[in-house]
Structure 1
């Protein structure tokens, strides 16, 4: 029999996926809006279409499987999952309100891990034993590696494009780059959908396993990925204009050429990490890519003060979310 709490957890998870969409919409559309290739409405519509299109391609669900194994099975209950989602939604809305492009992926992982650790403590076990250390270490490493990889790839792509286009007429080159941005932003949105929708899939699958609705991850019903991709696409349609401003204008001034390079680099990085089942931050990746195109112009073209502020948000996301997850679980524990 399906419990009321399971229904609440599934609804909350899909709500988080929706919030993830409008929180992270800026990742896909910031450069294409700031360069005026698309209007804001057309940009979010374009991104949402490609977010959902990823449903038909990313069928191995490797990232979802990694997320599902963040907390060890013996410490997973519906209460733990509920508390983790409450923490993740709280931090996401807080950072969205202040226009800070933090990672929806890492806040979900942090909230889930924190509530699992709190549950272990209440059970009289060592909290550290509740989490899958290899998964957490890999995720933590890619807080640094994902933006660095994105930055390196964007530098290489920018230099290649500049070399190819240096003999072209400026007006012709500008036209090419605007068309190129449509393609590159579609690729980034496609990779974003494939990467981020899977994280909520992993959480819902974990809840279904905890309630013995399904025996294992491989038995995840078809409605789970379909609803997750639909939710993130709907969220993207809602936009995230405060973060668009930060990503599109505050880090460095982005031209259509640089927009193509940054978005292509971001999509490539996400594609590589998804292939290996590593849940990385789309936000971190595209930020690193934007920094890369700025560095090619000159190091001073990057507003490093803004970048350092973003870095602090990245560093704090997992521990703050973990604390919030632990507190939410503690409140549930004492109430129930």
Structure 2
């Protein structure tokens, strides 16, 4: 019994760590565009996102109930092995989150979680334990429809924003008035992120408690302490930033102007809030990326970097199977070695996470150096524009100054000689009288 309780505690700890990575992985969804346009300072933006993620986590539990009582058929699974299966699935999700964060790819934490759980469940229990109808209707179809819908809404909103303000804005490429609006819309996105993404970890922990017999299966509603733990953890993760992905979304797809940012964030918030109300476990990352691309297409003269967009879309396609494969391998160890499998999985997870974190330190991306690439105007953060000259550059500058001084001296000497010659040609001032 003590070993079983220890495993449950370990699974809850890993689930909360996934919630933490979800927070810093998805900060970009809300705050990349207002930082890029200078509407919010970087650290202010992530603090605002953290607070609103915390608030949003308390507003809805529909998505949590989809996960805890929809995707996986608890009746098909023995409560004795299910904590280990969840643990294996979480390893797949956390590994993919950390890898895509290192690469700066705004992939879906949600699909990483679903992929890891599905892969681990199929290997550990069997395909009959997965409700593929729910997976198709509430995970896969929204993954295709939501980014497209958000992109179309953002495209239309951007067109309207530029059409309405064309005659009245003296800066047609800037539209600084939209910066104030961006503070409101980005706040909505952060709130929506809390209502959707924080629920997923709540659902996982609730599912664990149900299968372990600590909660009734007839009531998939998350317990109060679960809601508080997940809300606080995702808020802390959000405050950590996620600057690599902010850099990708803020400038990697298109140069974002205030009107575009306002339109993209409005589209993202509306799509996510609607999906949360319907219980769809949507990827806020995919919605935000679709909105940014749509807003880029909606501004005349704007250029979408399709190569970067292609990279992101490849990440979307790979997320479910890649996280599923890692979760399946972790589950395989649990099946083969019921006790040692958990230990090996835990050690491997720590090693992989530590390696990816240390690798990220070689090319550290923080609020300062991420913003220097995101905001062209430097409005988002003050950066040093001109680095100090090298020794060779200083020597060249000195030589150029010496040549200029010599040229100026020669010019003065020539002017003086010319005046002397002119006086000599006019003769004495008295006209030659003695």
Shorter-chain TM-score bucket reads over 0.9
Distance 1:161 1:225 in 2: 38
Map of 1:128 onto structure 2: 127
Name structure 2 gaps, 5 residues minimum: 339-434
CA distance in 1, matches of 2:169, 2:326: 55
Tell me how far 1:142 sits from its aligned partner. Answer: 1.6
In the other structure, the counterpart of 1:44 is: 46
Match of 2:267 among 252, 265, 268: 265
> Could you say which residue in structure 1 is the equivalent of 2:141?
141
Match of 1:252 in 2: 254
From the superposition, tell whether residues 170 and 300 of structure 1 become closer, same or farther in structure 2 (CA, over 3 Å). Answer: closer
| Equivalent runs, 1:14-33 vs 2, <5 Å | 14-33=16-35
Match of 1:163 in 2: 163
Identify which range, 79-88 or 32-41, moves more after superposition.
Answer: 32-41
SS of 2:71's partner is coil
Contact in 2 for aligned 1:214/1:220 (Cα 8 Å): no
Moved more, 293-302 or 324-333: 293-302
Alignment root-mean-square deviation, CA = 1.7
Rounded Cα–Cα distance in structure 1 between residues aligned with 2:49 and 2:196: 14
1:75 CA displacement: 2.7
Shift of 1:168: 2.3
**CA apart distance, 1:220:** 3.1
SS at match of 2:94: helix
Residue by residue, what CA displacement relative to the aligned partner does 1:108-143 show, whole Å, maximum 9, x if unpaired? 0000111110112xxxxxx33221111211211122
2-side partners of 1:219 and 1:246: how far apart?
36
Structure 1 unmatched runs, 5+: 121-126
Q: Which has the higher helix share?
A: 1
| Cα offset, 1:161, TM superposition | 1.9
Using structure 1 for the length normalisation, give the TM-score: 0.93
* Offset at residue 64 of structure 1 (A): 0.9
Q: Could you report, residue by residue, the CA deviation over 1:1-25 in whole angstroms, capped at 9, with x for unpaired residues?
A: 7711111111111111011000111
Assess if the C-alpha contact under 8 Å between 2:159 and 2:299 holds in 1.
no
Written as runs of structure 1 = structure 2, the 5 A alignment for 1:135-284 is 135-138=134-137, 139-170=139-170, 174-216=175-217, 217-218=219-220, 220-284=222-286
Q: Secondary structure at the match of 1:174?
A: coil
Match of residue 105, structure 1, among 86, 101, 110: 110
Shift, 1:175, TM fit: 3.8
The higher-RCO structure (CA 8 Å, 6+ apart) is: 1
Which residue, out of 116, 125, 142, partners 2:121?
Answer: 116
Render the CA deviation track for 1:293-312: whole Å, top value 9, x for unaligned.
11112597111111111111
Q: Distance in 2 between matches of 1:294 and 1:89?
A: 31
